[in-house]
Structure 1
Amino acid sequence: MTSVTGPPSLLPARTPVRMTKVLGVVGLTVFGIAYMVPLTVFSTLGPVAEITGNGVPGDYVVTLVCMLFTALSYGKMTRRYPVAGSAYTYSQQAFGGHAGFLTGWALMLDYLLLPMINYLLIGLYMGAYLPGVPTAVWVLAAIALVTVLNVLGIKSVSTFNGIVVVVQVVFAVSFVLLSLGSLSGGSVPDPSVAFSGMNGVGALFTGAAILCLSFLGFDAVSTLSEEARHPQRDVPRAIMAVTLIGGLTFIGLSFVSYLVVPDWQSFQNVDTASAEVVQAAGGAWLSNFFAACLLAGATGSALASQASVSRILYTMGRDGVLPRRLFGVLTRRFNSPARATLVVSLVSLSALVLPLEIVITIISFGALAAFTMVNLSVVKTYAIDDARRRGRDAVSYIVLPLIGFALTLWLWTSLPGSALLVGGVWLLVGLAYLAVLTRGFRRQPPVLDLKEDL
């Protein structure tokens, strides 16, 4: 580092660049819901129905129950550490730099893939509705738009996402009403199948594990702690609101979809099965409306997911765990991690070559690894370090997070073998990088000093 000498009065003053605190509980909740995309249930409908034998609503029930315990743990850790690093920061502060790095590294696998899923969906569905335009054109246009809005800062992302959420709510209400209208007077499929599936309990938990990707919205909210006006109060509230609203929406929409098309084997294309469901529910008008909503929703989710992963990369870069000059820098004009955002955009170009079914089977690996560590971080931070182990504290800081830990571990081990293989390789790469960073684990990796941030 270059030093500057001379009288203090003559040295140039340089104000540190910090993120702008503009978000309240409503803005945080809207961000999380936009990240989850209420219509994301349609993007995973076909592949998960195929795995479980049409048990998608049951999968969402299992996942919601598991995620509620983890959401409580996120709220507790956010109150303690209201900074942008999410599970990476919580694990780092609870268990040290090595555990923090590996948690952040695991979580990055999903966050880097999430924008790509949205670009894939945009390309697939726009290619289906407008086959004359190459899929790559839609993917590249979406990446360009999302990158520009994220560089401009979180306020522009929040404004766009508010519009997207309203549009999706209008579609969801229209879909439910038209579906129920089409079912009136006819025979109703057996609802028990929707919540149990036809392929057994093991398949149900595999589907639930995959659907954890739908709940990353509450983790995304925690990455905005440095841009929240009252992070220790509003971020935990928004996390719980996002989890409940998103989970109940997913259950309701997937159940209505089952009532409309009760036989997943009738889908002509599993990847775009939702288009067939919407067509059956409301005809051409609803189908066209769905295409517009899906495009807006996928764009909004790409905005939110790219904003979140760029902030995790920024935090790790600021710590010196990743190259600081590339990741740990904010733009002075927009107070946003523009360089990290551009890196995510470059990774997202792989949407031009990777198929959807491969991506969705591996995307929950890192999320479940991070969720597991956040639950354990609550026990370590509050029950062990703070010795809060009696009465209500024992329930809040030991019983509930350990239930969340057990449930996320169960889902983690229920993932398909391909997801475990890819995730394992990703962790080995991270471990090798950590070995280089710490000179063979002989020294601790850089750790964020939170004294100035809290």
Structure 2
Amino acid sequence: MSGSVTGAHLGWRRVLRRKPISMLNAESGADTGGGELRRGIGTARLTMIGVGSTVGTGIFIVLNEAVPKAGPAVVLSFVLAGITAALTALCYAELASAIPVAGASYTYAYATLGEIIAYVVGACLLLEYGVATSAVAVGWGEYLNALLGDTVGWQLPAALSAPPGDGGIVNVPAAVLVALCCVLLMRGAKESATINAITVCIKLGVLLLFVVVALRAFDSANLHPFTPFGIAGIGTAASTVFFSYIGMDCVSTAGEEVRNPRRTLPLAIFWCIVIVTTIYILVALAGVGAQPWGRFEGQSAGLAAILGDITHAGWPAILLAAGGVVSIFGVTLTTLYGQTRILFSMGRDGMVPKFFHTVHPRRRTPIRNTAVVSAFVGLLAAVVPLDTLANLTSMGTLVAFTVVSIGVIVLRRTRPDMYRGFRVPGYPVVPVLSVAACVYLIVELPWETYLMFVIWIGLALALYFGYGIKHSKLAALPEDANEAAAQ
């Protein structure tokens, strides 16, 4: 009996072993400015990575999915999601300043909560980024067709521009978009960040134009009834749109490719949340004020359609459709980038095959990793409908955000004297509120999402016990090193 108890105890110690923070920082070159990846991104471009992976996802795509669930009160859904994201952003900022390493929530969980939890979080992040990239790529075909129809009078046939379930057979534009982003990411993170910054400036200009024009047609009658589905509708829509707040997590995946990461990461996370939340609320309010909420459901390229109805002219809709094409390109680029860096970090830890950790000697980017991820994401975008993808992304995002907030509490208790470039104000209230808000939004997701999520986590755990636990770099460390990590 004692032997089995001892074996079980050792088994739990193996799956809950934590990676020493000193090892994490040494591997990434956080304190020396070195590392395996090239450091060339500053605060402005890092902020644009966060904004680029967020603005466009929620407004250009998911508004048509969320308004039918909440009505005009979708504005409050964005506020609720924004408050949740802001609370979590403070937690992200503290952990990013203390552990400025690629891997984001996965890395933070590995340092604070243990290996198996980190693996589950890593699976959530891969789901979050992979499905989010696919979700926005799906919508690219809609805006591309809107642009082609308004400019040259021709569109791609529905069979080749939408996935099964949305009236098509295969979404060719989505697959092509992912392939283009793949090639750009292979060239280098700095170059990709520059292209992304350009697309962000274009999309913000286009969205501000939409706000100005839509507010001119604002009709308060369109806001009645404001909450046709009650409080429950607001919560359900907030859960759906929350996937559009993954930008701050994408910021933290760049921890090994930014200059002065302990200062740059918290600043970029802060500015990302401020810019994103402001834009979302303005566009949502202008949209539901300019058009009856019942017309949003099933409306293709919604914002472009709203502008066309308001102006009865061609140029505003053409401009917005072009902005959607550029915007979604930027979103796809940055979320695809985030997923490859998660896998890079997991590969370095031995959690997934070393293949994903291989870096090109000259470009200093994980080229093989990027190619495999892009192939998977492109296939997903080509054949899976948008609404399924949006809810799955929200689940993965919320679980990862919950773990980050818990990680702040754990690290404050286990390493109170550790250097932090930023500390969460109002501790421990803010992390606790962040966890509570995330759990609330998780509860509001539909049961089908839970089923698919459980299947995904089951597959991840099978991979962990079949591969990760045996190949983990921590398995080769002496037991006292793992003990030191837990102190």
> Residue 79 of structure 2: which of 52, 57, 61 is its match?
61
Counterparts of 2:468 and 2:105, CA distance in 1: 21
TM-score after normalising by structure 1: 0.87
User: Is the contact made by 1:29 and 1:239 (CA closer than 8 Å) also made in structure 2?
Assistant: yes
User: Does residue 278 in structure 1 map to residue 307 in structure 2?
Assistant: yes
Give the 3 Å change call, closer, same or farther, for CA 266–431 of structure 1 in structure 2. same
Counterparts of 1:394 and 1:51, CA distance in 2: 34
Counterparts of 2:236 and 2:58, CA distance in 1: 18
Counterparts of 1:342 and 1:99, CA distance in 2: 27
Residue of structure 2 equivalent to 1:150: 185
Aligned residue-pair number: 425
Cα-to-partner distance string for 1:385-428 (whole Å, 9 max, x where unaligned): 4279xxx9896442211111111111111111111111111111
Q: Which residues of 2 match residues 249-398 of structure 1 at below 5 A?
A: 249-261=279-291, 263-267=292-296, 269-282=298-311, 283-324=313-354, 326-348=355-377, 349-386=379-416, 396-398=426-428
Give the 3 Å change call, closer, same or farther, for CA 295–441 of structure 1 in structure 2. closer
Residue of structure 2 equivalent to 1:8: none
User: Is the contact made by 1:362 and 1:418 (CA closer than 8 Å) also made in structure 2?
Assistant: no
TM-superposed deviation, 1:298:
0.5
Residue of structure 1 equivalent to 2:196: 161
TM-superposed deviation, 1:365:
0.7
Residue of structure 1 equivalent to 2:220: 188
Give the 3 Å change call, closer, same or farther, for CA 113–393 of structure 1 in structure 2. closer
> Residue 131 of structure 1: which of 142, 155, 172 is its match?
155
User: Does residue 427 in structure 1 map to residue 457 in structure 2?
Assistant: yes
Counterparts of 2:386 and 2:315, CA distance in 1: 26
SS of the residue corresponding to residue 53 of structure 1 reads helix
Counterparts of 2:469 and 2:373, CA distance in 1: 27
Cα-to-partner distance string for 1:255-310 (whole Å, 9 max, x where unaligned): 0001110x232347245433322222333211111111111110101110011100
Residue of structure 2 equivalent to 1:210: 240
SS of the residue corresponding to residue 36 of structure 1 reads coil
User: Does residue 97 in structure 1 map to residue 123 in structure 2?
Assistant: no
User: Does residue 235 in structure 1 map to residue 265 in structure 2?
Assistant: yes
Cα-to-partner distance string for 1:135-174 (whole Å, 9 max, x where unaligned): 2442232122101100011111111111111111221222
> Residue 23 of structure 1: which of 33, 41, 44 is its match?
41
User: Is the contact made by 2:360 and 2:367 (CA closer than 8 Å) also made in structure 1?
Assistant: yes
Q: Which AA in structure 2 matches 1:150?
A: L
User: Is the contact made by 2:61 and 2:136 (CA closer than 8 Å) also made in structure 1?
Assistant: no
Give the 3 Å change call, closer, same or farther, for CA 72–445 of structure 1 in structure 2. farther
User: Is the contact made by 1:71 and 1:239 (CA closer than 8 Å) also made in structure 2?
Assistant: yes
Residue of structure 1 equivalent to 2:437: 407
Q: Which AA in structure 1 matches 2:189?
A: I
User: Does residue 75 in structure 1 map to residue 65 in structure 2?
Assistant: no
User: Is the contact made by 1:82 and 1:225 (CA closer than 8 Å) also made in structure 2?
Assistant: yes
User: Is the contact made by 1:28 and 1:221 (CA closer than 8 Å) also made in structure 2?
Assistant: yes
Q: Which AA in structure 1 matches 2:181?
A: V
Give the 3 Å change call, closer, same or farther, for CA 394–267 of structure 1 in structure 2. closer
User: Is the contact made by 1:383 and 1:394 (CA closer than 8 Å) also made in structure 2?
Assistant: no
Q: Which AA in structure 1 matches 2:370?
A: T
Counterparts of 1:399 and 1:32, CA distance in 2: 26
Structure 1: give runs of 5+ residues left out of the alignment: 1-15
Q: Which AA in structure 2 matches 1:151?
A: M
SS of the residue corresponding to residue 320 of structure 1 reads coil
Q: Which AA in structure 1 matches 2:444?
A: S
Backbone CA RMSD of aligned residues: 2.7
SS of the residue corresponding to residue 173 of structure 1 reads helix
User: Is the contact made by 1:39 and 1:168 (CA closer than 8 Å) also made in structure 2?
Assistant: no
User: Is the contact made by 1:321 and 1:446 (CA closer than 8 Å) also made in structure 2?
Assistant: no
Counterparts of 2:327 and 2:183, CA distance in 1: 17
User: Is the contact made by 1:314 and 1:337 (CA closer than 8 Å) also made in structure 2?
Assistant: yes
Counterparts of 2:244 and 2:288, CA distance in 1: 18
